[in-house]
Amino acid sequence: MSLSASSHNLSLAEISSGQPVARSAIPELPLPQFQGAILDALRDRRRVCALFGATDSENSFKISLYVVLADDQHGRLHIARTGVSADGFPSLTPQCPQVHLFEREIAEQFGVKPLGHPWLKPVRFHRSYRAGADAWNRGPADVVQAGVMDFYQITGGQVHEVAVGPIHAGVIEPGHFRFQCDGETILHLEIALGYQHRGVERAMRGGPDKRSLHYAETLAGDTTIGHGCAYAQMIESLGSCQISPRAAAIRGIALELERLANHVGDLGALSGDAGFLPSASFCGRIRGDFLNMTAALCGNRFGRGLLRIGGVGFDIDASLAADLLKRLDVAERESRAAINLLWETSSVMARFEGIGAVSKETATELGMVGPAARACGVDMDSRRDHPSGIYQFSHIPVSTWRGGDVFARAYVRWLEIQRSIQFLRDQLKALPVGALQAEVSAPQPESLVVTLQEAWRGQVCHVALTDAQGRFERYKIVDPSFHNWPAVAMAVRGKQISDFPLCNKSFSLSYCGHDL
Amino acid sequence: MFENIINPLIHIGLLVAMPPLLPGVINRTKAVFAGRKGPPLLQPYYDIYKLLRKGMVISTTTTWVFQAAPVVTLAATLLAGLLVPFGPFAAPIHFTGDLILFVYLFGLARFFTTSAALDTGSSFEAMGAAREMTFACLSEAAVLLGLLVLVRLSGSVSLTPMLLAPLAHRPEAPVLLAAAGLFIVLLAENSRIPVDDPNTHLELTMIHEVMVLDNSGPLLGLIQYGSAMKLLVLSALVLHLLVPFHAGVPGVDWVLFPVELIAMAGVIGTVESFMARLQMRHVPTLLAAASLLCGFGFVLMVR
């Protein structure tokens, strides 16, 4: 850790992903400087990775705000904190749309109001962490129910309101979408989530314990390895543990298999939503083949139980590596055929091209991450920008595209599929040696760690604050969906409501990852 | 004399018993192209039988219109099926001007289906009703223009003489143009790809399916049976333009006709396997193209 000399970050602690910093070394700024630092950072092409509140104990009136800013170009993270009173603090959202949901989350969790927030609504519909404090002055008798809030409304002769969900016709997670439409055109979409809120962040308090890793694995079921790796790396850096190259390689293999299964599955689902059956059926089956490779690795198709603190629980021996390579060849050939069929079919391309376009400016302003951001031409990928584990030694080229429409989001996935397969082949052919698990010491007390992982959906960010005994005093999780949900609403504005499902699928965001 | 009794009986038998087989064939065809096994050919029969034995949940906001709609739709489709000649055999009911009745029986069915959709008060279903009506305006024009070609050709305004006019009197170009136009209408009216996707679960993209979301049990069974019958009736009509050849032996022709229908379902399934749905805002363009095809056919006839 060092205090950066650059004029912009004079007052911020500078670390990198997975590097613990003593809490005393994090500068406590007065609120105006704290917010000024965030605005400076955005002007400087940095991003808000996380902005969250923390208290020493559940009833404390002293609320601290922490911000984690990512400098993707230099692979550095800048951290600062500030104190806010229970009466509220001036909202930064009007100047900085990226913090819109973060400020709503702070209001909901700590009952402290961001004053002047343009759309202060609950995010997950739960009671505040501080007993009695509520940003909406709801008493203990008032019912707090997901989706019950005032929605943005437009009135007028031809304007009509369409409410979709929370229960959907397909087997997907619950979420409520409220459209204001003029005929077939969407004027405004408001998304209300929170139906899947389980209180994971709160349950992590007082950890790490035996449950913590499993909480992390189930934050979003389809991102088991992504969230699991972020958590495991957190405990390892707090316990000054360096995992072996072999364990790092196996984690990388699992993470890329997860990416492959989800990307192929999503391309199939996109094809299905466009009414094009051949690719939909083939991709659905090939997704299963990739999941089965993960199962061959650890016995579970989603990779549950593969990760252990200090390494991995399962080895890849020579025969398994040969078997996986063989399966990879078949899956590559088949997915190439099924996916190229999409690009070659003009009726499919007519549905993909130009639909749900997000500009690069909007993507940057909203702080979008992952393939959805790369499809807008934003050149970012935590595997390159904030590498950890195997990605420090083995690089995967970043796949970007232009246009930010459904086609771009689909095509970036296809580019990533090809590069992940190449990466897997390289790793499986030359697995490094080393112990599967390394010793991990007790977590460092009074520290803060940020870990970033590029999961298939985008950047996963975990932040832990430990107390004097080395237990989690605050555990903050930011799933990529949290950054990207507002982009879905922007992508469909002014577009046809009949294209919404396709557009939504092209983002393929998580509900439970957002709801935590 | 014997023929006058047996032919209408076979006609009615086919009209009542065969419809669910066609969606079965379509689904099977699509499954084969997608590399899957697919459901049994007779699955639609099992589904309808299952639905007919189930209970119903009826929204409290609805009125009698909601429950009448599936019945009226089925009755109208059945009656329309009696006006169309199957193969080389005259339709059981035919009279001068029955083609207008034929077109507007479907209009009546549509009126009830959309009214029932509005009756539920659901924003989805109203959206579906609006789409259905918008597209119907365009497809109705195509059907009438297509039939006008045959009216001009046969000099009759009754479906049976129009469709069974001797081959020798048929100029190819206008009939083929009308056939192409009517085939597009057939896909649109039966909510097939590229206009609608009968398999989708995405309410926001549906046209026809979204209007019947509130139906369950026997009413839903009637709706599914009715739409299969509509597919059969419109296919029978288009077949007269595409395959106007007959063996001349009643026994053979009665076998040939169902085979042609099954082949037609196979063609529809193949179309669906090779293309995605159109964007909703491009559907009117396709239907306008259908009207133009039929219109050109008519222009060629009046030169």
Tens of pLDDT, residue by residue over A6-34, are: 444 457 888 999 899 999 899 989 999 99
**Which residues from B are below 8 Å from A when comparing CB atoms?**
30, 33-36, 123-124, 126-127, 130, 193-194, 197, 199-205, 272-282
Residues A99 and A242 reside in one and the same domain: no
Inter-chain CB pairs, A–B, below 8 Å: 90
Q: Which of A84, A115, A146 is the last residue of a domain?
A: A115
Banded pLDDT at B1 (limits 50, 70, 90): low
Which residues on A lie below 8 Å from B203 (Cβ)?
164, 169
Q: Please tell me if residue A177 touches chain B, with a CB cutoff of 8 Å.
A: no
Q: Are residues A234 and A375 in the same domain?
A: yes
Q: Is A444 helix (H, G, I), strand (E, B) or coil?
A: coil
| Residue numbers of the domain that contains A476 | 207-480
φ, ψ of residue A188 to 5 degrees: the values are -155, 140
| 3-state SS class at A460 | strand
Give SS3 for B110.
helix
* CATH number of the CATH domain containing A270: 1.10.645.10
Higher-confidence residue: B285 or A140?
A: B285
The reply to whether A214 and A111 lie within a common domain is no
Neighbours of B10 (CB within 10 A): 15
Contact B126 A160 (CB under 8 A): yes
Task: Determine the residue among B123, B132, B202 to mutate to test chain A binding: the one whose Cβ has the most chain A Cβ atoms within 10 Å.
Answer: B202
Closest residue to A164, CB basis, from B203, B275, B278: B203
pLDDT score, position A409:
94
Per the CB < 8 Å rule, is A350 touching B282?
yes
Instruction: Closest CB to A169: pick one of B30, B123, B201.
Output: B201
Chain A positions touching B201 (Cβ under 8 A) are 168-170
Give the residue-averaged pLDDT of B82-98: 92
Decide if A169 is inside a domain.
Answer: no
A351 → closest Cβ in B33, B202, B277: B277
Number of domains in chain A: 2
Q: Which residues of A touch B210 (CB under 8 A)?
A: none
Question: What range defines the domain where residue B99 resides?
Answer: 2-302
**CB contacts, 8 Å: A169 with chain B:** 201-203
Q: Which of A183, A274, A500 is closest, CB to CB, to B276?
A: A274
Q: Which of A59-68, A287-296, B71-80, B282-291 has the lowest mean pLDDT?
A: A59-68
Q: Which of A165, A339, A178 is nearest to B201 (CA)?
A: A165
Q: Do both A452 and A338 map to the same domain?
A: yes
Our CA-based measurement puts residue A331 at a distance from the nearest CA of chain B, in whole angstroms, of 15
Which of A81, A115, A149 is where one domain is finished? A115
ipTM: 0.86
- Residues 6 or more apart from B221 whose CB is under 8 A from it? B47, B48, B49, B50, B51, B52, B54
Two tokens, residue A121: 């609504």
Distance from C-alpha of A368 to C-alpha of A478, rounded to nearest angstrom = 12
Which residues in chain B touch residue A498, judged by CB atoms under 8 angstroms apart? 204-205, 279-281
Kindly report the three-state secondary structure assignment for every residue of A291-327.
Answer: HHHHHHHHCCCCCCCCEECCEECCCCCHHHHHHHHHH
Spans in chain A with pLDDT lower than 70: 1-10, 57-60
Among A162, A496, A498, select the one facing B123 at the smallest CB separation.
Answer: A162
Could you give the number of structural domains in chain B?
1
Q: Which chain B residues have a beta carbon less than 8 Å from that of A270? A: none
Helix (H, G, I), strand (E, B) or coil at A99: helix
Which amino acid makes up residue A185? T
Secondary structure (3-state) at A406: helix
Q: Which of residues 479-508 of A touch B (CB under 8 A)?
A: 496-502
Which of these, A203, A207, A237, A230, lies nearest to A447 by C-alpha position?
A237
Q: Are residues A101 and A225 in the same domain?
A: no
Q: Which of A184, A488, A498, A504 to mutate to test the interface with B (most CBs of B within 10 A)?
A: A498
Tokens of A290: 């990739």
- Among A90, A115, A140, give the residue marking a domain's end: A115
Phi, psi dihedrals of residue B219, rounded to the nearest 5°: -60, -40
**Mean local confidence (pLDDT), B122-138:** 91
The per-residue b/e assignment along B172-206, b for 16 or more CB within 10 angstroms, e otherwise, is eebbebbbbbbbbbbbbbbbbbbbbbbebbbbbbb
Residue A36 sits in a domain of what CATH number?
3.30.460.80
> A429 and A317 share a domain?
yes
Chain A residue with minimum CA distance to B280: A498
Residue A288, chain B, CB below 8 Å: the answer is no
Interface contact flag, A347 B35, Cβ < 8 Å: no
pTM for this one? 0.91
Q: Kindly state the average pLDDT of the residues B59-72.
A: 94
Identity of the residue numbered A31? L
Distance, in Å, from the CA atom of A393 to the CA atom of A426, rounded to the nearest integer, reads 12
The pair phi, psi for residue A177, each rounded to 5°, is -120, 125
Minimal Cβ distance to A278: which of B34, B130, B199: B34
A170: which chain B residues are within 8 Å (Cβ-Cβ)?
Answer: 201-202
Mean pLDDT of B104-113: 95
CB burial of B25-34 (b: ≥16 within 10 Å; e: otherwise) equals: bbbbbbbebb
For B194, which residue in chain A has the nearest alpha carbon?
A: A275
Average pLDDT of chain B, as a whole number? 91
Cβ of B200 within 8 Å of Cβ of A275? The answer is yes
Whether A154 is covered by a domain: the verdict is: no
